[in-house]
């Protein structure tokens, strides 16, 4: 068997189409253009690429985008003051602080992110939004896991009643993915670096989500024949060469569907961010 390849660009286009329709309806109903402010601190080249990509996608969908560039030596207080200003600015619907922060303020990341108005928190990282997700009333949900669920839906892959296994328990991917899959009535197991007999658990998965950050870690013997493999991992194993957490070449012969890296889940994240900007604008207008 050769798996169906779940091409990120196909599903990202569908997610962006939905977002563009949302932008249009807000413009018609309220006469405003949804807007996103992205704060980038320092000169991390990868972050600069991500921010440019977000800006470009906003423009493509008719979302107003503002990039706030702050120097490497920005203090925690200066960054918080900028967030406070954007929180009060009624013309801004979404605020995102590009991570990672420079080393000097990295330790304050939680305090900084928690300063963002929860209604403008388009990354979905604020404890208020995390609480809404956990209690079953999701509003602004982290973009990568939310994008994966959209992809499964667009691909016509059933979640209800399925056995799902997630490798990784981060706040950005693993934990929100647990709640999203559980809310869709999957039976979910979360594995992490202390899990014993990992392969035994992953072999039970109808849907296996790899989000650990270990190149090609998930090998064919860890996968149940016919399962759906969602590879969230992005690992740089040589300059300009990206690989996922899954040994794609071998696993694709066993799975029924699989996301490639690059060209898979990575493309869904920015598309889903656009939907969160639309959602944030609606939350503020209600
Ligand atoms: P993280 O480092 O915060 O978490 C990694 C998780 O993997 C931890 O919970 C850890 O317990 C688990 N883990 C590590 N080694 C393990 C092992 N040997 N066995 C079992 N579990 C193990 O990472 P993250 O932020 O969740 O990101 C995970 C991966 O996803 C990274 O490669 C990252 O680059 C990628 N990522 C991609 C996107 C995207 O847009 N596609 C978004 C976010 C993260």
Using alpha carbons, list the distances in angstroms from residue 139 to 107, 121, 168, 267, 280.
27, 10, 23, 21, 8
Q: Give the global pTM.
A: 0.97
In the residue annotation, 231 being an active-site residue is answered as no
Residues 111 and 150 in one domain: no
Pocket test for ligand 1, best of 198, 200, 212 (most atoms within 8 A of CB): 212
Residues 263 and 228 in one domain: yes
Is the predicted pLDDT of residue 237 greater than 90, yes or no? no
User: 284, 277 in Cβ contact below 8 A?
Assistant: no
What does the alpha-carbon distance between residue 214 and residue 197 come to, in Å, rounded to a whole number? 17
Confidence of residue 74 (pLDDT cuts 50, 70, 90): very high
The DSSP code for 101 is: P
- State yes or no: cis peptide before 276, omega within 30 of 0: no
In the residue annotation, 275 being an active-site residue is answered as no
Residue 114 falls within a domain, yes or no? Answer: yes
Confidence of residue 238 (pLDDT cuts 50, 70, 90): confident
Each residue's pLDDT tens digit, 117-144: 999 999 999 999 999 999 999 999 999 9
Task: Identify the CATH number of the domain in which residue 73 sits.
Answer: 3.40.50.10860
In the residue annotation, 54 being an active-site residue is answered as yes
Note the pLDDT of residue 239.
76
Note the pLDDT of residue 168.
98
Residue 34 falls within a domain, yes or no? Answer: yes
Note the pLDDT of residue 1.
74
Q: Which domain holds residue 224?
A: 142-267
Residues paired with 258 in a beta bridge:
5, 229
**What is the Å distance from ligand 1's center to 211 Cα?**
4
Angle of helix 174-183 relative to helix 127-134, nearest 10 degrees, comes to 30
Residue 136 falls within a domain, yes or no? Answer: no
Confidence of residue 75 (pLDDT cuts 50, 70, 90): very high
Residues 216-243, mean pLDDT to the nearest whole number: 94
Token couple for 215: 């190149």
Please tell me if the CB atom of residue 173 comes closer than 6 angstroms to any atom of ligand 1: yes
For 48-171, list the strands marked E by DSSP: 64-70, 94-97, 163-167
Each residue's pLDDT tens digit, 170-195: 999 999 999 999 999 999 999 999 99
Residues 228 and 182 in one domain: yes
């Amino acid at each position: 068997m050769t798996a169906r390849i779940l091409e990120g660009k196909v599903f990202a286009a569908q997610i962006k189409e939905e977002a563009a329709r949302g932008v249009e309806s807000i413009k018609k109903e309220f006469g405003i253009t949804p807007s996103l402010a992205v704060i980038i601190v320092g000169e991390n080249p990868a972050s600069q690429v991500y921010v440019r990509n977000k800006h470009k996608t906003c423009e493509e969908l008719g979302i107003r985008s503002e990039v706030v560039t702050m120097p490497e030596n920005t203090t925690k207080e200066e960054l918080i003051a900028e967030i406070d200003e954007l929180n009060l600015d009624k013309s801004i619907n979404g605020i995102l602080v590009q991570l990672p922060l420079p080393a000097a303020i990295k330790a304050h990341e939680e305090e900084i992110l928690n300063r963002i108005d929860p209604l403008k928190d388009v990354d979905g990282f604020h404890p208020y939004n995390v609480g809404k997700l956990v209690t079953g009333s999701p509003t602004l949900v982290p973009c990568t896991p939310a994008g994966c669920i959209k992809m499964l839906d667009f691909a016509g892959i059933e979640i209800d009643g399925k056995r799902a296994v997630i490798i990784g328990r981060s706040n950005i991917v693993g934990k929100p993915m647990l709640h999203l899959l559980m809310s869709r009535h999957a039976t979910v197991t979360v594995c992490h670096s202390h899990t014993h007999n990992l392969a035994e658990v992953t072999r039970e998965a109808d849907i296996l989500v790899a989000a650990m950050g270990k190149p090609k870690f998930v090998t064919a013997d860890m996968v149940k024949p016919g399962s759906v493999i969602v590879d969230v991992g992005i690992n740089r194993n040589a300059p300009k060469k990206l690989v996922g957490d899954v040994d794609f070449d071998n696993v694709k012969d066993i799975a029924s569907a699989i996301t490639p890296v690059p060209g898979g889940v990575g493309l869904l994240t920015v598309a889903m961010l656009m939907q969160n900007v639309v959602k944030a604008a609606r939350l503020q207008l209600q």
